Amino acid sequence: MQSDGRVKKALVTGGSRGIGAATCRALARDGWLVYINYNESADKAHDLAREIGGRAVWADVSDEEAVKAMFDAVGDVDLLVSNAGIAHPGQIQDLTEKDWHRLFQVNTDGAFYSCRAVVPGMVRRKSGNIIIVTSVCGVWGSSCEAAYSATKGALIAFTKSLFKELGPSGIRVNAIAPGVIDTDMISCFSAEEKAAMAADTPLGRLGTAEDVAELATFLASDRSGFITGQIIGCDGGFQL
Ligand code: NAP
């Protein structure tokens, strides 16, 4: 609830599964009205909306018109969590131009379209909060994930620019850089490979979607009111 009695509205892109879904649950627990964006997982998004008293809203974030229509329907939001993302592991010689562009369309263009949609309302109200989900891959780079890492590195530069532009309007912009988080995104790895990644993590385990969600809710709250422009790891100490 805002000080004027208005319910706080958040929209989480890619809220249907994984880190996004955990973030939707945690935000709802903290009193937010949560709009759960989904692309392909309609049933999961609608089930989650029923569970947390939120609203499921469709848009493929790589589709500029669809993103605009979604935000037009939702109206002003106080918080955007730009989380939707895809990965495409593989050696560079096996990466097609189509793969490269699709990664940028979803991971990077999607964040741009979403931020551009929420900013005018936030500037008008002189208040707002944007959280962008990047990755340790964007910070350190990652073998066999050059394209994915490039999309996430772009989001880091984007965050580091946007917070400067929007700070004077009372808008905070931060990014979360998760390490290896046990969601569908890493289902391509075997149990042995996951065990090896856990062993490479100083805290000795993979992260959970809830680990990331708790950082997101902190950044969403007034408890982090003087924090902006930060790229905050949630990685158990993992470095690539
Ligand atoms: P996930 O379990 O695979 O979930 C991906 C989410 O993104 C789903 O909700 C999916 O929605 C959504 N999404 C994908 N393409 C979309 C599109 N075109 N339009 C709208 N939504 C779309 O992945 P996750 O692990 O939770 O990843 C969430 C974010 O964290 C991503 O940005 C990812 O790069 C980042 N991250 C993950 C890890 C990790 O180890 N898991 C590490 C670092 C960063 P639908 O199912 O409805 O299509």
Specify if 41 maps to a domain: yes
Specify if 2 maps to a domain: no
Specify if 238 maps to a domain: no
For 38, phi and psi rounded to 5 degrees? -140, 160
Q: What is the CATH number of the domain that holds 113?
A: 3.40.50.720
Strand-strand pairing, 128-133 and 79-82: parallel
CB distance 38 to ligand 1 below 6 Å: yes
Angle, to 10 degrees, between the axis of helix 146-166 and the axis of helix 110-125? Answer: 10
Residue pair 61/37 in contact (Cβ under 8 Å)? The answer is yes
**Residue span of the structural domain in which 78 resides:** 9-233
Specify if 86 maps to a domain: yes
- Residue 69 is which amino acid? A
Along the 240 residues of the chain, how does pLDDT read in single tens digits? 655 667 999 999 999 999 999 999 999 999 999 999 999 999 999 999 999 999 999 999 999 999 999 999 999 999 999 999 999 999 999 999 999 999 999 999 999 999 999 999 999 999 999 999 999 999 999 999 999 999 999 999 999 999 999 999 999 999 999 999 999 999 999 999 999 999 999 999 999 999 999 999 999 999 999 999 999 999 999 988
Assess whether 148 carries a catalytic annotation. yes
Catalytic residue among 35, 38, 113, 148: 148
Residue pair 121/77 in contact (Cβ under 8 Å)? The answer is yes
Atom of ligand 1 nearest to the CA of 63: 18
CB distance 207 to ligand 1 below 6 Å: no
CB distance 71 to ligand 1 below 6 Å: no
- What DSSP line would sit under 78-93, residue for residue? SEEEE---------GG
Q: Which residues pair with 231 in a beta bridge?
A: 175
- Return the structure tokens found at 102: 């699709």
